[in-house]
Structure 1
Amino acid sequence: MRRHFARSTEIQGRLHELVPGGAHTYSRGADQYPEGMAPILVRGNGCHVWDCDGNDYVEYGMGLRSVTLGHGYRPVVEAAARAVADGLSFSRPTELELRAAEDFLDLVPGADMVKFAKNGSDATTAAVRLARAVTGRESVAICDQPFFSVDDWFIGTTEMNAGIPPALSTTRFRYNDLDSLAAVLGSGDIACVVMEAATALAEPEPGYLEGVRALCDRYGSLLVFDEMITGFRWSSGGAQRVYGVTPDLSCWGKAMGNGFPLSALAGRREYMELGGLRTERDRVFLLSTTHGPETGSLAAFRAVVRAYADTDPIARMERAGRRLADGVNKIAADLGIAEHLQVAGRPSCLIFTTRDAGGRPSQAFRTLFLQELLDRGVLGQSFVTSAAHTDADIDHTVDACAEAADVYRSAVDRGGVAGLLRGRPVAPALRRTAAPRSLDPARQG
């Protein structure tokens, strides 16, 4: 049953010598996987991936939620290849930039203009900068949601805040709590409210988003929706189309290119024009990127738009997610561990929750579950599906979860993972110290 990861472990060790953390994204780090079981991948097709040791997996998470159509989706790859064959980057705009902007704005309600970039943090930070210029205010209100940017205004509010000046003007409010937001906005110094309209585990209560919109209007703060995850996973027009509430600005990325690097800032013309040449006000340095308009990603995006119009990938993601959640939750219920192991969330954006014998959220039990899934050919820190997940893939995953859940039940009965977990538990990606997964021998433990 056990898989071997000798080559992956060797390459991971070399990566740690050359790349801080051994990965270019903290959530991709080896400390997010069971020790000695962090696969180094070499290729993917659909929802399947293969590592350098020859192991194959059904993958979930799909490029940190950036792949919705499947790895190597031919129409997207071919569109990008055709564009790149005629040149990747130029010293003037291309017609492709116009066509991509037209496609994007046809999808997004209430957005008049768009500017493309390469990563989500660039887009969210540009939105904050623009809101500060529009309002003449400095402070930012962020919802109590996991992640918005690698830049100081957000990372300074997390545990991993070394190197960031202490004088931050960012404050938090609670989701689905209008009184919490009103109290923050009452200071009169909030330039913008930054939030996800919904998350995997949190849907807006009736009237909540409308209330947020009204509070922003009352206090003169811009409303910014982070559509990094909801865009092209809730709908091709994002959460704003699903819930019918239009922000002043919105920030996009991840699935808009089916894995190709592309992000976007979109919004109302009166605000976006401050970054252009049709304003009498002082200009905002909005977004200026060498690679934002490269042809491959813009062509990929246009192919994604066509795929969403023709093939309804969201319906396929949601169907796969419902079958998976129902199957795994039934297994847990039949084993009497439904309160310890559960699949939850929107069907297109599922997570699994892991609790110990006492019912407390547990990284150790999470690691045990990941370990057992990896041994059975399932790779994923979540159960985020794609349109490429077939019934056979879901059946394989449910079968793997049934065997993993048996081991999980043993750990619950024992009161812990001792004797079952091979190595140290995973740790939060954003934490103050390398411990408890430090690679310094003197600090391991």
Structure 2
Amino acid sequence: MPATLADRTFEHSNRLQQRLHDLVPGGAHTYSRGADQYPEHMAPVLTHGHGCRVWDVDGNEFVEYGMGLRSVTLGHGYQPVVDAVSAAIAGGVNFSRPTELELAAAEDFLHLVPGADMVKFAKNGSDVTTAAVRLARAATGRSKVAACDQPFFSTDDWFIGVTEMRGGIPTRSQKDTVRFRYNDLDSLAAVLANDDIACVFLEAATSAAEPDPGFLAGVRNLCDKHGSLMVFDEMITGFRWSAHGAQAVYGVTPDLSCWGKAMGNGFPVSALAGKREFMELGGLRTDRERVFLLSTTHGPETSSLAAFRAVVRAYKDDQPVRQMERAGRLLIDGVQSVVQTAGLADYLQLSGKPSCLTFATKDAAQLPSQAYRTLFLQEMLLRGVLGQSFVVSAAHSDTDIEQTVDAVRDALPQYRRAVEQGSVQGLLDGRPVAPAIRQFSAPRQVVA
């Protein structure tokens, strides 16, 4: 039985988290999964999941949001994916030559993304975004990258060098990437004015913003005018906006696009796709100097490609997208209703596409607050909801949404107390969360 508010404990999770800090830098293999992203002493260490529910080592059950950093759209343990993977790995996982499965997966992918002529699979999003940069530099003979002012594109030097967490990045790499503003064609035109930009990198849309009318077409025109490649990051939009990606939703075709996350329903698979004239530079049909595009030992292993093909079958007619949109709209209606009733509409707000919702937490002065965010996360965890966002999956049922709305309703009295007294003092157990990408460990430094 799920733990009640009175007896929910995180003792075993806390012990294991400390051991993780002893063995793994940061205590997690992804910064956004770190304990510093959750209320102190309340970062569950999980054991398993099913659908949109997960369980931790203390026996707590949660409705999960975010779903593997948006990588799981069909639900944990989705049976058709499990069956496809089980059948594939029974015949071997990795070989010294391409498999028939690689061809079938490539055909599936290019059928979904008609604007692309060729595709190459890898394991991580950063594998393919950095490959796109390398390819654009080779195709144009330029070194600079224009990256939109969006949160994240790669773990590699070309992007991390322009974040706060730039330790170990050569100065040259930091200078080779310049930023432009989303929905601001003038800022992009200024960046492109010197005709020295190899590629323009952006997400067509995010959980925080939709493209203004004409913006993406304007980016396309500016790239063509200045000889820069247009690259879409479809990590989140792919299989969440549509199985065909944001490029199909908004009707603008990039030169290259980068995919990952939900294309394997949590299995590690990513893809670089693009126009033949560019992709062939990494192949054997070019007279030009070749590009070391992508060459990974595990890129074509059978389990992830089998998972991808099962995902493609599940996305026939984009049914999971419609399910996520419906669940998200139910969540919006329910949460906004209880927040409005509590008189907190100016302090706790939802934003984004229904299938990719985030929440904003504001303090007594109606300013964004990490402390108030942590208080909200704390109260939701105590009531069986785990998530740094309200990003849903197709597995979120009406019952799951109802439980979440009930949890929000029951958490709001504590939030109201914080607003009324002007601080979270006496209400928050431990230190507030901190940005995942920051220069120093403080304010959530862990003492050995």
TM bin (shorter chain): over 0.9
Aligned with residue 148 of structure 1, among 153, 159, 162: 153
Aligned with residue 31 of structure 2, among 26, 29, 35: 26
Instruction: Give TM-score scaled by structure 1 length.
Output: 0.98
2:216 match: 209
Whole-angstrom CA distance in 1 between matches of 2:115 and 2:329: 31
1:419 match: 426
2:138 match: 133
Whole-angstrom CA distance in 1 between matches of 2:227 and 2:275: 15
1:223 match: 230
Whole-angstrom CA distance in 1 between matches of 2:404 and 2:350: 13
Aligned with residue 82 of structure 1, among 87, 90, 112: 87
Whole-angstrom CA distance in 2 between matches of 1:333 and 1:154: 40
Q: 1:275-294: CA deviations, max 9, x gaps? A: 00000000000000000000
Residue 335 (structure 1) shift? 1.5
Q: How does 1:152-171 map to 2 (within 5 A)?
A: 152-168=157-173, 169-171=176-178
Q: How does 1:44-443 map to 2 (within 5 A)?
A: 44-168=49-173, 169-309=176-316, 312-440=319-447
Letter of the structure 2 residue corresponding to residue 39 of structure 1: P
Q: 1:259-318: CA deviations, max 9, x gaps? A: 000000000000000000000000000000000000000000000000000670111111
Q: 2:147·2:177 contact (CA, 8 Å) conserved in 1?
A: yes
Q: 1:56-103: CA deviations, max 9, x gaps? A: 000000000000000000000110110000000000000000000000
Which runs of 5 or more residues in structure 1 are unaligned? none
Q: 1:196-251: CA deviations, max 9, x gaps? A: 00001110011110000000000000000000000000000110010000000000
- SS, match of residue 264 in structure 1: strand
Q: Say what the alpha-carbon RMSD is for the aligned residues.
A: 0.8
- SS, match of residue 317 in structure 1: helix
Whole-angstrom CA distance in 1 between matches of 2:339 and 2:317: 37
Residue 109 (structure 1) shift? 2.7
More displaced stretch, 308-317 vs 79-88: 308-317
Whole-angstrom CA distance in 2 between matches of 1:167 and 1:336: 51
Whole-angstrom CA distance in 2 between matches of 1:214 and 1:343: 33
Letter of the structure 2 residue corresponding to residue 182 of structure 1: A
Residue 440 (structure 1) shift? 2.5
- SS, match of residue 199 in structure 2: strand
Name segments (4+ residues, structure 1) moved above 4 Å. Answer: none
Letter of the structure 2 residue corresponding to residue 332 of structure 1: V
- SS, match of residue 103 in structure 2: helix
Letter of the structure 2 residue corresponding to residue 258 of structure 1: N
- SS, match of residue 414 in structure 2: helix
Whole-angstrom CA distance in 2 between matches of 1:422 and 1:373: 13
Letter of the structure 2 residue corresponding to residue 116 of structure 1: F
- SS, match of residue 154 in structure 1: helix
* Identity value in percent: 72
Residue 327 (structure 1) shift? 1.0
Q: 1:387-425: CA deviations, max 9, x gaps? A: 000000000000000011121111101111001000000
Which runs of 5 or more residues in structure 2 are unaligned? none
Instruction: Give TM-score scaled by structure 2 length.
Output: 0.98
Letter of the structure 2 residue corresponding to residue 387 of structure 1: A
- SS, match of residue 115 in structure 1: strand
Q: 1:342·1:352 contact (CA, 8 Å) conserved in 2?
A: yes
Letter of the structure 2 residue corresponding to residue 229 of structure 1: I
Q: 2:49·2:55 contact (CA, 8 Å) conserved in 1?
A: yes
Q: 1:109·1:240 contact (CA, 8 Å) conserved in 2?
A: no
Q: 2:147·2:180 contact (CA, 8 Å) conserved in 1?
A: yes
Q: 2:242·2:318 contact (CA, 8 Å) conserved in 1?
A: no
